[in-house]
């Protein structure tokens, strides 16, 4: 799904929750991905652990990884970003990303999210595999999910979405 029609997580708090049934401890792959090497974010399993990477404009990879391994069975694996401020230099939202296995917080870390789209054409969102180019150097794209079933992925946002009014006016004027 292209970024223009998927949920807008720019400059706001968000939660990505994946309901999965892990049939083997070796289950791995992308649960959710949006964007690519030039910027994006991904929730994935690798080496038995839950990981979330936010790739800021292809310049700064920020990864939060769980210490405990994810147990097999029906699980809800969640990445929750709580916006705490704004970086005035980059116009990026800053905050804390917490990973959950079911309802247990297993790790957290500070990160910065980019204010604009993940690519010139708005790289798409996908479930169960990444786009052609991986968001993280931690895995090779498309890194399809194996060893279980993804029942659903839910993305929830809070706060007002970021609007670049100057770009909206320029787009409006370009129509004439």
The pLDDT tens digits for 96-135 are 999 999 999 999 999 999 887 776 555 678 999 987 788 9
67, with CB counted inside 10 A (0-12, 13-18, 19+), is exposed
Answer for the pair 12, 158: CB distance below 8 angstroms, yes or no: yes
Distance between CA atoms of residues 164 and 143, nearest Å: 33
Ordered by where they begin, the domains of the chain are 3-174 (2.60.120.200)
> φ, ψ for residue 4 (rounded to 5)?
-65, -20
The pLDDT tens digits for 23-43 are 999 999 999 999 888 889 999
Q: Please tell me the predicted confidence (pLDDT) of residue 167.
A: 57
| pTM (predicted TM-score) | 0.87
Estimate to the nearest angstrom the gap between the alpha carbon of 134 and the chain centroid.
12
């Amino acid at each position: 799904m292209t970024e223009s029609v998927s949920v807008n997580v720019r400059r706001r708090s968000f939660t990505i929750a994946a309901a999965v049934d892990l049939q083997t401890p070796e289950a791995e792959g992308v649960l959710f991905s949006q964007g690519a090497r030039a910027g994006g974010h991904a929730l994935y399993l690798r080496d038995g652990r839950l990981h979330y990477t936010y790739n800021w404009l292809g310049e700064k990879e920020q990864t939060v990884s769980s210490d405990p391994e994810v147990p097999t069975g029906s699980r809800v694996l969640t990445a929750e970003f709580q916006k705490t401020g704004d970086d005035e230099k980059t116009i990026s939202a800053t905050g804390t990303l917490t990973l959950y296995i079911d309802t247990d917080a297993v790790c957290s870390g500070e990160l910065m999210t980019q204010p604009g789209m993940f690519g010139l054409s708005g790289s798409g969102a996908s479930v169960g595999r990444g786009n052609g180019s991986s968001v993280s150097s931690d895995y090779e794209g498309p890194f399809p999910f194996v060893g279980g079933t993804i029942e659903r992925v839910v993305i929830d946002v809070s706060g007002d979405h970021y609007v670049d009014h100057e770009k909206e006016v320029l787009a409006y004027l370009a129509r004439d």
